[in-house]
Amino acid sequence: MIRKLLLATVVSAGCTGAIAADMKAEDAIRARQSIMRVVGINFAPLAGMAQGKIPFDRNAFAANALRLESVWAMEPQRYFVPGSDKAVSGSKIAGFTDARPAAWSKPADFKAAFDKNGKAIQALAAAARGGDQAAMSAAVGEVGKACKGCHDDFREKQ
Amino acid sequence: MIRKLLLATVVSAGCTGAIAADMKAEDAIRARQSIMRVVGINFAPLAGMAQGKIPFDRNAFAANALRLESVWAMEPQRYFVPGSDKAVSGSKIAGFTDARPAAWSKPADFKAAFDKNGKAIQALAAAARGGDQAAMSAAVGEVGKACKGCHDDFREKQ
């Protein structure tokens, strides 16, 4: 049992694999967009529950919150590699990156925004493990703020 | 401790959220592509370790294998909604779906392929929890076969 728990904890520790320095821009863009979309898909029902738009379901909440923690541990910020700041021509995702130049020109701010998000997500997962509905809902709000804060500064308006 | 473990197990149980019947094709395509890419990002180092191309790292293996299990529980097959079988015009991913018509015209085969993949991924996660390197590597091979089998039949050649 303890071994299983330890392994489950490892999930949060990340280590998806090294990012090659010569990773193609298209691959980097698709990787970060994919991770962020998976984050969004998991976050949406949590926001719905916290806002009372869908019924609160403790198990479903926990499943999504812990998956969010695990996926965030893939460290999407690693995929904002040099050269992936512009639309990629001749690819399936031609013309498609919503990242703003500030993600590269203000690396300290960008890192701080990601770190804030990571802490909020860890707190959300902790709340989900705790099981208190009010704490879980409050933690969703903090994650939402962190997401929005980073998007406001580093993502083009949708 | 036991409570944490139980919650960790919930991750595998899925429940990301309901799929709206009127989900836009673009959103469905991007959701399934994102999930699959996150699966691929996590699988790649496992394949590398199993094939001896990168050093075996038990903790890194477990992190990725358990995340793979958790992400697969999002049930990507749910996003092959009606109407999402063709390229989406006027969107950021215009012209971009690799799914073959067979994914819709042969639903029983498609479901069987997904189920096979799900079982292989669960076995991989179980092997990762067990911690035996030979079993872990063998399980990677089975997942790889299941992935390839589904791609051969239901995805355009890359």
Q: What single-letter amino acid sits at A140?
A: V
Is residue A9 pLDDT above 70, yes or no?
no
B63 is written with which tokens? 């992190």
Distance CA B17, CA B35 (A): 14
- According to the model, what pLDDT value does residue B118 have? 98
Residue A88 near residue A94, CB atoms below 8 Å: yes
Cβ partners under 8 Å of residue B147, min gap 6:
B43, B117
Among B7, B19, B43, which would you mutate to test the A interface (most chain A Cβ atoms within 10 Å of its Cβ)? B7
The answer to whether B129 contacts A59, with C-beta atoms less than 8 Å apart, is no
**Residue-wise pLDDT tens digits, A14-55:** 446 667 667 888 899 999 999 999 999 999 999 999 999 999
- According to the model, what pLDDT value does residue B26 have? 87
Q: What share of chain B is helix, strand, coil (3-state, %, to 5)?
A: 70, 0, 30
- According to the model, what pLDDT value does residue B18 have? 66
Distance CA B59, CA B92 (A): 38
CA distance B138 to chain A (A): 19
Q: To which residue do tokens 């899925």 refer? A: B14
The better pLDDT of the pair A17, B42 is held by: B42
Is residue A1 pLDDT above 60, yes or no?
no
Is residue A63 pLDDT above 70, yes or no?
yes
Name A155's bridge partners: A99
End-to-end alpha-carbon separation of chain B, Å? 45
Q: For the whole model, what pTM was predicted?
A: 0.88
Residue A112 near residue A103, CB atoms below 8 Å: no
CA distance A110 to chain B (A): 22
The answer to whether A74 contacts B42, with C-beta atoms less than 8 Å apart, is yes
CA distance B73 to chain A (A): 9
- According to the model, what pLDDT value does residue A88 have? 73
List C-alpha distances in Å: A21 to A16, A74, A81. 15, 17, 8
Q: Looking at beta carbons, which residues of chain A come within 8 Å of B14?
A: 63
Span B97-111, average pLDDT: 95
3-state secondary structure A136-152: HHHHHHHHHHHHHHHHH
B140 is written with which tokens? 């990677």
A7 is written with which tokens? 């392994």
**Residue-wise pLDDT tens digits, A89-130:** 666 665 578 999 999 999 999 999 999 999 999 999 999 999
By Cβ distance, the residue of A5, A71, A74 closest to B1 is A5
